[in-house]
Chain A
Amino acid sequence: MEGLGFYAFGALALVGALLMVTSRNPLHGVLWLVASFLGLAGLFGGLGAHFLAAVQILVYAGAILVLFLFVVMLLNLRPDDLTRMPSFSVRGGVGGLILGAGGFAAVVGAVVLGTAGFDREVSALAPLEAGAAELAVPLFRDALLPFEAVSLLLLAAIVGAVALTKRRLP
């Protein structure tokens, strides 16, 4: 059953990612990325990270991508804007394919050669269920200072976003 979940959610994540990268209309891209992130949330759940699966849906697929949708609609791009603009860059595409294939080959080599227990079946590993209660101690006790620092970072991001987009009042 776990195997089926991996293949189903993994295919959803991968197909969503590929369709996002190749979609001409950014609105369709956002929606495909939502599908991809839902697949990733399923994979997190399959690895026992139940809290992160919920956060992935709430924060990523919910909040961040809704922000993307807001901006796509706010910009109000007309269809001829999209067709006039060259959508793909050939040089960048060749470079990206070479870099992406090289990086993937490096990870394949590292995973296959240096198997530090990575060839074990997931279902044979010691159980690790991480709901909100299990994650609370390492997050709020051991990582309290980084947690507070993240709140400052978010505040800075809010102030920065408002300052960047504010229109000058007459």
Chain B
Amino acid sequence: MTPVLAALPPVTVQHYLLLSALLFAVGLVGVLFRRNILIVLMSLELMISAANLALVAFSRVHGNLQGQVMVFFSIAVAAAEAAVALSLIIALFRTRGGVSVDDAAELKG
């Protein structure tokens, strides 16, 4: 166990920022790649969480708590967004009978 642990590079703040960027990129690919609107919404939540991780890392490196207060508000806004978006999905399902993003293409030019 110990040699494996010693072989890993020491964790810097960059590691957290790069992981956050990677999670954000995965979420972005999910938003554009998937057609199921539930998965699109979940990818959006993943992108918000990735941004939260970067904010907590910044808070850690600067040694003040403002970044964490920001994350607290971000989680509250994400909760409100999820509630409204899920009720929109239910309304879409009732009128169109499906949860694909193609079911809501009426405004497409």
Question: Given contacts A64-B78, A107-B17, A135-B72, are A13 and B29 in contact (CB under 8 A)?
Answer: no
Interface size class of A (residues with CB under 8 A): 35 or more
> Which residues does chain A contribute within 8 Å of B93, judged by CB atoms?
75
A29 to B41 alpha-carbon distance, docked (Å)? 11
Contact: B30 with A21, CB < 8 Å? Answer: yes
Nearest B-chain residue to A163, judged by Cβ: B87
Q: Can you add 20 more A-B contacts, CB < 8 Å, to A20-B30, A33-B46, A119-B13?
A: A3-B9, A4-B8, A7-B11, A20-B42, A29-B38, A29-B39, A47-B60, A75-B93, A82-B36, A85-B35, A86-B102, A95-B32, A99-B32, A112-B14, A117-B61, A125-B13, A128-B63, A130-B65, A157-B80, A161-B87
A residues adjacent to B (C-beta < 8 A): 1-4, 6-7, 10, 13-14, 17-18, 20-21, 23, 26, 29-30, 33, 36-37, 40, 43-44, 47-49, 51-52, 55-56, 59-60, 63-64, 67-68, 71-72, 74-75, 77, 81-82, 85-89, 92-93, 95-97, 99-101, 103-104, 107-108, 111-112, 115, 117-123, 125-126, 128, 130, 134-135, 138-139, 142-143, 146-147, 150, 153-154, 156-158, 160-162, 164-165
